[in-house]
Each structure stands twice: as C-alpha cells, then as structure tokens.
Amino acid sequence: DGSSFEEAMLKLLRTLPKVLKYLPGDKAKDAKSFLTSFQYWLGGSPDNLRSMLVNLAATYVPEVRDYFDDAAHRAVLQEAVAEPVFLPDKGIWHPMAPKVFDSVDDYEQWLFDEHAATAGLTVDSPTVGVVLQKSHINTGDAGHYISLISELEARGARVVCIYSGGLDFSGPVKDYFFNSKGAPAVDAVINLTGFALVGGPAAQDHPKAVETLTSLGVPYLCAVPLVFQSFQEWEASELGLHPVQVALQVSLPELDGAIEPIIYAGREGVTGKSVPLDDRVSQLAQRALKWASLRRKENKDKKIAVTIFSFPPDKGNVGTAAYLDVFGSIAAVAKELHGRGYDLGPTYDPETTTAETLMDQVLNDKEARFDAPTLNVAYRMSVAEYQEKTPYAASLEDNWGPPPGQLNSDGQNLVIYGATLGNVFIGVQPSFGYEGDPMRLLFSKSASPHHGFAAFYTYLERIFEADAVLHFGTHGSLEFMPGKQVGMSGSCYPDRLQGTIPNLYYYAANNPSEATIAKRRSYAATISYLTPPAENAGLYKGLKELSELVSSYQGLRENEARGPSIVNSIVAATVSCNLDRDMDELVSKDAELAKLLADQTGCGNPFASEDSGIDATAFDAKDLDLDTRDRLVGLVYRKLMEIESRLLPMGLHTVGVPPSAEEAVATLVSIAEIDRPEDDVVGLPRVIASSLGRELEDVYRNANNGVLADVDLLQQMTLATRAAVKALVDASTDATGRVKEVSPMAKIMANAFLGGKTPYRKALGDAGFAKAAEDPRLTPLFEYLEFCLTQVVADNELGALAEALDGTYIEPGPGGDPIRNPAVLPTGKNMHALDPQSIPTSAAVDCAKRVVDKLLARLEKDTGAFPESVAFTLWGTDNIKTYGESLAQVLELVGVRPLPDALGRVNKLQLIPLEELGRPRVDVVVTCSGVFRDLFINQMNLLDRAVKLAAEADEPLDQNFVRKHALEQAAEMGVSIRDAATRVFSNAAGSYSANVGLAIENGGWESEGQLQDQFIGRKGFAFNSDKPGMLDQQTELFKAALSTVDVTFQNLDSSEISLSDVSHYYDSDPTKVVQGLRKDGRKPAAMMADTTTANAQVRTLAETVRLDARTKLLNPKFYEGMLNSGYEGTREITKRLRNTMGWSATSGDVDNFVYEDANDTFIKDPEMQARLLETNPNAFRDMVTTFLEANGRGYWDTDEENIDRLQELYQEVEDRIEGVGSS
C-alpha cells in the first residue's frame, strides 16, 4: 500500500537524527544536520523554519558557532532551537479544533461537545469530506480552506477535513471517511488540493484512486486553486485556467472520476498567500451540498429535469441526439425511475408509456413546429418573474434587447416547452438563438444566450426546483455558451445557466472530447451510452448484380469465349452503378494497366469520362489478354469489397438495451482484425496470412492495386474471420438471441462433432484455412475476444443513472472507439479523455508516418508533383481515440520528431535531418477545432514550435517549403520569420466551429462567399508559442498561409462517424476557401485518410463522399434500419442528405448521381414517400427542401419532371402540417 509506505518513510525520517546523535565524532554531523533540517522543512511552520535557520547557522557559520559555544549563551541556543514540531502525518483537521484527530470518533466527540451547537449543526446535518494539503496547514496558509469550511457550515453541513503527509490520500480517505461500521461517513467529497487523489502532480495511480473512491461511493468533486496566474490574469483571460494547470489539475483528476473543476482560490500578488474567491467558494459549497442531498432525500421526493434538444429548430427535430432513440430511451429511464420509487404522477403506467406516448405529451403531435402553439407549454414566465429570478437578465439585453424577445416567447411571457410527469419534467432546451440569422452566424464571436434560454434554466432551478438535471444525449448548447474555456468565472454563461443543480449528462461513448467540454464548462457528470451496433454495409441492387458477374468471371476467366463477354458485362454494369468515376481514377493512376489497355484495345480506359477524348464505347474485352482482364476485374472487385465490408451503425441506440449476439459479431470482427502488441495479441488476418507464407501488408498492397487473386484472398480472409468470430459468439448465445453470460472457450468441451477442436478453430478450418486453425496464437486472441464480448453485451447505462441520482460516485472510464480501445466498454461510465501531455504516443507516430507516406505517394501519382503545403484539420475526439495520430501526421509532414521527457510527457522536439527524412519538409496550415483547442492547447504549442523550428532551419528552399513560404510572407507582411511561420489556428477562446454547418443546416446563407468569410473570420485566431495563453485574431496571416495550400486533408478514424453523419467535417473544410485565396485560383486536391480498418487508405474527398453515400444514404440496409426507429430515423436520413449538400457547398466534390439516386429512392417511390411523411412530416419537408435547394444552388442537375414533383410535394406537405397544426 503506497500510503502506508509513505507513512513508514516519514517515521523513519524522524527517527534517524535521534539515532545518529549517538555516533562518535563529527562523522554523522552532516547527515544529522540534513535530516534535521529536512524535518524542520517538512514541519513548515514559522517556528520550525526559524529553528532550522538558527540550527544551521550554529552548526556551519563560525561566528555564530563560536557565540553559542560560549557557556553563557548555550541556554539561548536551546531556547532558539526547539525540537521539530510536527503535525501528525495524517489526520482530521478543523480550524476551530485544538488538535489534529486521528480517529473519526475522537473528531465527532469534539465536534458535538464543543463546536456543533455554536455552528448550528446536528447529527442529521449532511456531511462533506474535504481533502487538504498538509503544507497549507503547516504554514498557516489555510485561509482559502477556512473560507470553504465556514461556507459549508453556514449552509448547515458538517465537514470532515483530512490531509496526508505525502501525495497518496487513499489511506486517509479509508481511515477517516468511513464510520466504525464501515459505512461512508460523508455524503460528498471535495478535493481542495486540485491534484489527483494518489500521486499528486507527479506519478499518479489512477486505478488505486478509482478503487478507493468506488468503495467510498459518494460524489467526488475536485476544485482548483489558481497557481500559475494571479486573480487579475485569470479574470482577464479568455482561456481561463492556465494550460499547464488544466493538464495537471483538471485532466488528471478526471481520470480518477472527479467532477466540477471550480476555481475557488488563488494567491495574493504581494504576500503569495492563498486567498479565497468568495463567489466561487459559495458556488462550490452549494453545488457540493446539492450532490450530498441526493444521498439523503427519498426518491419519491426528488425532482428530476430531463432536458432534450432540438437542432436545427423548427424542423421536426425535437429530441435530437447522436445515434440515440431519445424518446425510446426516456421511456426506459422513466420505467427505471418508477421502479425505484420516483413519483411520475398518477397517470403514469410503465406498461403503456412508450416513446410515442411521451412524444405526444411533449410535442402534442410530432408534426409540431418547434415554436408553434402545438408544442406543449409547461410554464409561462412573466417578464417580472424572469427578471426577479434571473440575476444576469440585464446583461443579455445588449445582444437580444429587453425581454421577452422573439424566441421562446408568446409576446408577453417567456415560454417553457415540455411536459411534467409528477416530479419528472421533460423539457426542450431552447435553440442557440441565431441559427437563422446570417449576420449573427458571421460575427458572433462573443454572443450570449437569449432570454428564452436563460428563462429555461431559471425555471429548472428556481421554479421547478430540480434536484438534478439530466441532459439527454450528445449534445446540447449549454456547454458551448460563451465564457472561459476552462475555469469558469461567475460571469461565464455556462456557470450562470447551470446554477447549483447537479448536472448528469448522457453522452455517446465515442465522443470523449465534447463530453469533456460538458464536464469542464457545465459541470457535468457524464454517463456514456453505446452507439448503435455496426454491421457490414453489404451490396444491394446493381452492386449485388455486379458482384455476381465478378463471381461468374472467376469461374470462367480462362474461357476465351465466355470470359471476355463477362468482362464487357462487368464494365457496362460498373457504369450503370455509377462506379465509372471511381474506376476511371483507379485505372488512370495505374500507369502500367492504362498502357496495357491502350496497347491492346486501341481505345484505352473503358471507364474514361466523355470529356477525356477517349471513346470508351469502342472497348471490347476480347482484345485483352488474360492477365489484363484479371487486373481490370480485380480493380472492380476491390471497389465492391470496399463497399461491402464498410461498417455502418444500424438504427439508433436505446439506453439500457445492449446489443444482441448477432449485433455483437461485426464489432468483434473489427476488434479481431487489429494487432495489439501491448496485449500480446496478433490479429486474425495476420495469423491467416502467415499460415499461407504471406506478409499481410503484401496482401493488402496487392489487393489495393487490384491483383485479382489477392483481392479474392483478402475477401476469403474476411469471411473466415467473420465465421470464426461468429462461432465464438454462438457458443454463448441463448435461445432469445442474446448473450447473457459468456462461456469461456476453455470450458467448451471438444467433442466428436467438432473434430476435437474449439468452434472458432473448426470454423477457420471449414473456411479453407486449416493451417491457421492450428496456430497457437489463436488462443490469446480469442481469450481477448471473449473479454471483449463480455464488455460489448454488458450494460450499466440505466444503473449508472439511478446510482448517480442516489448521490453515488460514477465509475470513470475512457471514451473513444470501442474497436480501437475496448476499455471504453461497458458503457454507463463517467467518461474522461486522456492525459493531454501523453500524445502523440510512439505507436501513433508510427501510424502517422505510414499514412503520410501513403498521402504523399498518392499525391505524386495523381498530380505528378510534390505538395508544398497541406491544410490540416485537427479534432479533439479523433486525437483521443488514436492517441494523437493526426497530430503526429502534422509533425511528420514538417519533418519534426516529438520526444517525451523522463515522465513520459511529450514536450520536446527534434528536427529530423533532411538526409534521414528523404524528402522536402512540407508546409502546413493547421485549423484546430474549438474542442481540440480546449483539450490540447499544450499540443498546439508543440505544433507551433515545430513549424517555427523548421522555418528557422538553414536549408535549401526547395527542400524546406515551410521556410520558403515563411520568408515570402515575412517579406510581404513586414513581420519576422517566426511570426510569418504562424500556422496553428482555431476559434477565439470560448467559441466553437466556423458556423458553416449552422448556416447550411438552417438554410440561412446567401452565397458560398458568405460561408467562406465565416470560416476565415471565425477560424482565424492564431496560436503563437512565443505568446502562450492567448489566441490573437490574425485574419491576414491566416489568409496568407492558406493561399499557398496545395492539398486539404482530414482523417476518418472510426466507422461510427463519417462524412455525412455530422456537419463538423464540412464545417471545417477549407477547400473552396483555399481556391478563392490562391493567386492562380486553382482548386486544391482534397484528400481523406481512412484508418477505420487495419488496411489504412488515402482517398480523394470525392471518392470518400461516393463511398459514404453508397454505404449509408443510398443503402437499403442503412435507411431501413433508420426507418425502424420511426420519427428519429426519418430525421437521421434527412440529416445525411443535408450534410451531403454541405460538402457540395464547401468542396464541390459531390457527384450528381448521389442526388439523383437519393431522389429516386426517397421521392420517386410513392410508398417510401408515404412512410417518411407518416413518421416525421417536418423532417420529410426538410428533405424536399434540401433537394430543391441543391438544385437551386447548382449542385444537382436534374430534369424538370423531378423539380415539378418536388415543388408539388413541398406544397402538399406544407398544407398538411399547417392543416394539422391549426386543427
């Protein structure tokens, strides 16, 4: 036990000087002096420090030593040098107590005998445990502690304040926060040290801390004292808390499960003493006591506010959340709460309450406009009541005028939308407010919530009097309201709005970055939920028929009569499936194949576009030899398998419903494909490849190049992997198709039917890989998969919520991609990110190099030139999931190596010599998302230092494009080369996104020029490592850097979120922005890296959009899965169509067939029309609007018949909605 070890060392330290004084002569004098001085130093009090200095002087300063050697002065020395006076190494401290207590019983006896009556405390008072630093007590610098203790007691709480002599507080927690019966003696804990519970700022032991806090089982808050800033600096800073302090005192405690990083104290500028921040101390005390009250209040008396979101507003979007069936999940939560004794009103019946009935109660009907009278009004708040109960109401008038305003208002009152079920309120969070206002979107650097938004949260706290609020799903607007990035002040809007209500937040497990923003800015305790199970996209319609033709060819390829005929059919089917552009690009970049086609047929590439000058209609496969036919078919086969094997989430997740056995298979297959050297696990594809005497990378490379035999081999390996994993899952599947308990393979008896083999080995053998089935490496792999299966089907999403509402500590866990990191599972955890100083890891650097090499090779093959500058987008979640891969890609392009220090913190850089790099240094322009900025500002510092390091390297300009461009821009702009080399940009502090997505989602934009101005204006805030701690608007520098860009580049790292799933990707796409800024007006190449599988790919953006459309929007498997979710599913389909149009607006890389096929699927088909209209009329109207807008803006070229049909349909839907709304 580390805590016991620390205590033993401190006791030894105090004992040694007493032993040493008995040694003869001066041999031990120095050792004794050192140890004695160390004891005085640890004692820390003014008396101890005075004794230390006098003792050292009397020992080592001759004049002083001679003075005290005089017998007449020895008494003075003895009086001046007292024995070190120690506080005990650990104990319970109270500023009013005469001593430190070493047991809870002794402390409580003093408390109730001498202090409680005076302080107005009783046995029934809530109790808050407080963790303190011993050094502040030793030195008498405890004013900030005393302030909080006094505040808590004044609000009727008892306190138990503990400290430790070392950095491991787990021992004192166990000793003093439990009573004699072993039950928790506190209702909540506040850690005032600001550090991790075990190890402080140096070497943390998070598992030990989690074990300790789990056994205690109460809410754990970790407040933060300012260390690196004065009060004035913090108050003036838009960033808020200093980045170093964020890493040490916010990020690391979060790994322990800490919540509520509230600034409560700082150092006084002159004396350096700690002083409290009164309003923050009050906020901290009130929030801690609200958490504590959840442990004491009976469930029947608790009031819970469930907050749902509507984005974009006005369009049938009430109940939006990433991949979540919101109303179905609320129904599940309501049933769970009812079962635990919560009051949901006399009419609530768990058997009859469904998603539909809840939807009807909140919406009145699902065709309701967001601001229409048919949306249920739960409360009307008069302006007078609003102003009385909302202290900051006047500060909103600069942006919104006097209340009630136009939003969430009936003209006289502020209106709260929602429905009340007994003590549970289901409310609709108001919109951000400026979605439909182009000028606000463009200029809103520091907006504020509107009156309706403020009134909603005032209602929750002051009128409904919620004991807790549950924000339902990823994500709302509260945590993105203006204010400091981290370390809120009382004037920051998230702090003002959230008030003192405990905030629970269901957040998607794959989005730890934005969950972290919610934790830090709105004081949320997150509860992770699973994203929907993934399945292979499969093939459908013409693609399936094309696959069947390829299979026919494989059987008849050597038949000179049938083989060429089938190839001709394959070519024709490829064109009819709109795969011709993909194949044209694949054939064109394969110079050898293109030459063979030209030499053998005379016409060349059969997939060439009409404007290429090639007459593709003259192609006849009978002119090709067998090898060329194989290569051509191999490329088609490769593209088909790329579509078929792509994972897509199916439908929407309902909280508390784990995946079925069948649904778990695809996730486990993806897990099985990855090598995990840290766990001594070799991926199944590598095992199979090695059993054939092949290198897996060689198989991937050949398959990527369309070698027919290896494309087929890779497909057989994929099918064998699926079969083996399915065999594992089937062994634990019950009659209902669910996995209730995983049966370990070691316990599955081999029998004659299985041929003496475990099911997965038999499945591999049956798939044609008998040698692989005998490989001993399968054992650790499938043991690992057993563990992952257990995690996949486990579930604590409802349990964690119920326990949190009981005032119980929520177990922390990482967020991210469960395929890359199965530790994300099971869900129902208080999600955290990672130690921001730990990335990029060495593994991430290795992966980044492979991707950069593929990118540069692809660009050289496609364009024949080496890029001088690449525009990058960095995302918070992506870098958490991949441990900094895209961050490392930027460094790799620049030619700079990141290095860790002795503690593993990546904060050093090394310029890679050009000889080792083997290519020129590529310039970069890095646009960081607002979330990346909040989480990884130290890494922004690292990136800026790396670029400046490259810019200042004295190297030939044709080998260092960073320096080349920096010198040019320095001369043009009259700045230093270091300033000209500024390449790291983001939003202003407290601001998020370019608002391009907002404009497109709401239709509130006039031209692409407006979108481009928004991007430049909102993303043009520069980070400069020479002036850390601030982001300055540097629009001209941003434009100058972008004007040299040859390539725009983003990463896709997870199958769960792709290009059309969210607006984030196109919101930050600068492709057309760069085109407008380049002097030659040339559009840059737009590229995407896809690392969702072990076989990482680099594609053009256009390729990726086509792949995404084929596997999702146009795929029956996807849209039927969504339609099974009804109201929300229709909205999800529409969202993907609108996001596709977003890519047309920012890049122009959406093929016409995507819109045409989508129109055929959703509009031309009367049966599909009726289904969409019935499930969500508003979302269907938005779909029709999107098609018309895409045509009107020139993104979709179609016939007049389609446009006439859409216009008529729009009017029909509009009439229906208006007719129902007014009836």
- Write the pLDDT tens digit of every residue in 658-678: 888 888 888 899 899 999 988
Q: Which of 509, 503, 507 is nearest to 524 (CA)?
A: 503
CB-based contact 667:817 (threshold 8 Å)? no
Percent of the chain with pLDDT over 70: 93
Cα(481)–Cα(477) distance, integer angstroms: 7
Tell me how far apart the alpha carbons of residues 488 and 501 are, in angstroms, rounded to a whole number.
Answer: 16
DSSP conformation letters of 195-246: S-TBTTTTS--HHHHHHHHHHH-S-EEE-EE--SS-HHHHHH-SSBS-HHHH
Q: Which residue type occupies 1134?
A: T
For residue 369, pLDDT beyond 50: no
CA neighbor of 1047 nearest in space, from 802, 812, 873, 805:
873
Distance, CA of 1211 to CA of 1188 (rounded, Å): 12
pLDDT of residue 25: 52
892 phi and psi, to 5 degrees?
Answer: -65, -40
Nearest-CA neighbor of 827 among 841, 815, 843, 842? 815
Confidence bin at 438 (pLDDT 50/70/90): very low
3-state class of 799 per DSSP? Answer: helix
Is the pLDDT at 410 greater than 60? The verdict is yes
Helix (H) or strand (E) holding 1139: helix 1127-1146
pLDDT at 525: 97
Instruction: Using alpha carbons, list the distances in angstroms from residue 703 to 639, 825, 829.
Output: 10, 33, 40
DSSP string computed for 883-952? TSHHHHHHHHHHTEEEEE-TTS-EEEEEEPPHHHH-SPBPEEEEEE-HHHHHH-HHHHHHHHHHHHHHHT
- For 128-132, 863-867, 1000-1004, 1117-1121, which range has the lowest pLDDT when averaged over its residues? 1000-1004
In this structure, of 11-25, 91-105, 307-321, 368-382, the range with the lowest mean pLDDT score is: 11-25
pLDDT digits (tens, 9 = 90+) for 1146-1205: 999 999 999 999 999 999 999 999 999 988 888 999 999 999 999 999 999 999 999 999
* Amino acid (one-letter) located at 546: L
CA–CA dist 849, 867 (Å, integer):
16
In Å, how far are 146, 453, 813, 953 from 430, measured between CA atoms?
Answer: 40, 5, 31, 52
CB–CB of 1160/1120 below 8 Å? no
Determine how many CB atoms are found less than 10 A away from the CB of residue 985: 25
Write the pLDDT tens digit of every residue in 42-70: 777 777 888 888 888 888 888 877 777 77
The two structure tokens encoding residue 758: 């475990």
What strands, in cross-sheet order, belong to the sheet with 304-308? Answer: 377-382, 413-421, 424-428, 304-308, 468-472, 503-508, 524-529
d(CA 227, CA 245): 7
C-beta separation of 143 from 275 below 8 A: yes
Q: How confident is the model at residue 434 (pLDDT cuts 50, 70, 90)?
A: low
Cis amide linkage into residue 1177, ω under 30° from 0 = no
* pLDDT exceeds cutoff 60 at 542: yes
* Tens digits of residue pLDDT in 909-928: 999 999 999 999 999 999 99
pLDDT reported for residue 313: 54
Closest CA to 259 of 564, 549, 502, 573: 502
Give the count of beta carbons closer than 10 Å to the beta carbon of residue 1027. 11
- Confidence at residue 820, expressed as pLDDT on a 0 to 100 scale: 83
**Alpha-carbon distance 434 to 440, whole Å?**
6
The mean pLDDT value for 1101-1109 works out to: 95
The whole-number average pLDDT for the span 766-788 is: 94
pLDDT (average), residues 840-852: 92
Q: What angle do CA 1010, 1011, 1013 make, to 5 degrees?
A: 65
Distance between CA atoms of residues 472 and 320, nearest Å: 9
Tens digits of per-residue pLDDT, 984-1039?
999 988 788 888 888 888 887 889 999 999 999 999 999 998 887 678 899 999 99
Distance (Å, rounded) from C-alpha 156 to C-alpha 158?
7
Interval 374-379 mean pLDDT? 81
Confidence band of 257 (pLDDT split at 50, 70, 90) = very high
**What average pLDDT does the chain have?**
88
Contact of 536 with 647, CB cutoff 8 Å: yes
Q: Give residue-wise pLDDT tens across range 1120-1134.
A: 989 988 888 898 999
Structure tokens at 58: 């009397």
Distance CA(659)–CA(648), nearest Å, equals: 15
> Amino acid letter at 822?
P
Say how far apart CA 637 and CA 551 lie, in whole Å: 9
Q: Write the CB contacts of 1144 (distance below 8 Å, at least 6 apart in sequence).
A: 1150, 1190, 1193, 1195
Mean pLDDT of 1084-1103: 91
Q: pLDDT tens digit string along 620-653?
A: 889 999 999 999 999 999 999 999 988 888 888 9
DSSP 957-980: GGGBHHHHHHHHHHHHHT--HHHH
Q: Are 302 and 467 contacting, i.e. CB atoms less than 8 angstroms apart? A: yes
Tens of pLDDT, residues 741-766: 776 754 554 443 445 678 999 999 99
With the CA atoms of 313, 316, 320 and 323 taken in that order, what torsion angle do they form, in degrees rounded to the nearest 10? Answer: -140
pLDDT of residue 753: 46
- 1105, pLDDT greater than 70: yes
User: What's the whole-model pTM score?
Assistant: 0.84
Identify which has the larger pLDDT, 694 or 88.
694
Helix axes 778-793, 661-672, angle to 10 degrees: 140
Length of the chain as a residue count = 1223
